[in-house]
Amino acid sequence: MTAIVLPTPERDLDAATDAVLALVHDHARRVDGVKVSLLDAAREVRLRERLPDGVRLYTGGDVDYPTLIAGGSHALLGIFDPIAPAAAAALQALDAGDPARFAAGIG
């Protein structure tokens, strides 16, 4: 796994997003996903929507992760470590098409 870390002051966040997306699009066949922790759910959703087909967005946001995961992001969160069994059950509920059980278990 290769990590790309770019400076992200607010004025540079759009440029950093465009740079990451250009790299991902250029190498989409070799990229499984992009992990971000933007602390801005709307910005993360916009990023996810711009990824090429087959490239996942892994959320690292500890605040909005239930909404982001339910909306299509994948989880790569340290917060899941101590609650792994409950998190696994909630994610299985989401995979099974039961968003209410997901929300009850993860929210």
φ, ψ at 66 (rounded to 5°): -60, -45
Mind spelling out the 3-state secondary structure of the chain?
CCCCCCCCCHHHHHHHHHHHHHHHHHCHHHCCEEEECCCCHHHHHHHHHHCCCCCEEEECCCCCHHHHHHCCCEECCHHHCCCHHHHHHHHHHHHCCCHHHHHHHHC
Residue 2 has pLDDT above 70, yes or no: no
Query: Residue 5: its pLDDT value, please?
Result: 61
Please indicate whether residue 31 or residue 105 has the higher confidence score (pLDDT): 31
Query: Residue 28: its pLDDT value, please?
Result: 96
**52 closest CA partner among 69, 35, 34:** 34
- For the question of whether the overall pTM of this predicted structure is more than 0.75, the answer is no
pLDDT tens string 35-93: 988 888 999 999 999 999 999 999 887 788 888 888 888 877 776 677 778 888 888 99
Query: Residue 106: its pLDDT value, please?
Result: 79
Query: Residue 47: its pLDDT value, please?
Result: 95
